[in-house]
Amino acid sequence: MDKPVRVLGGVFLVIVVLIILLGFLLQKSCESDRNKWDTMTARYKKELGNQFILEKDTSTIVDYDCFGNTFTLNNGKVINAELIFKNE
Position 59, amino acid? S
pLDDT of residue 87: 65
Position 70, amino acid? T
How does pLDDT run across 17-72, given as a tens digit for each residue?
999 999 999 999 899 888 888 888 888 888 888 888 877 888 888 888 888 888 89
Q: Are 57 and 37 in contact (CB under 8 A)?
A: no
pTM equals 0.57
**Residue 14 clears pLDDT 80, i.e. is over it:** yes
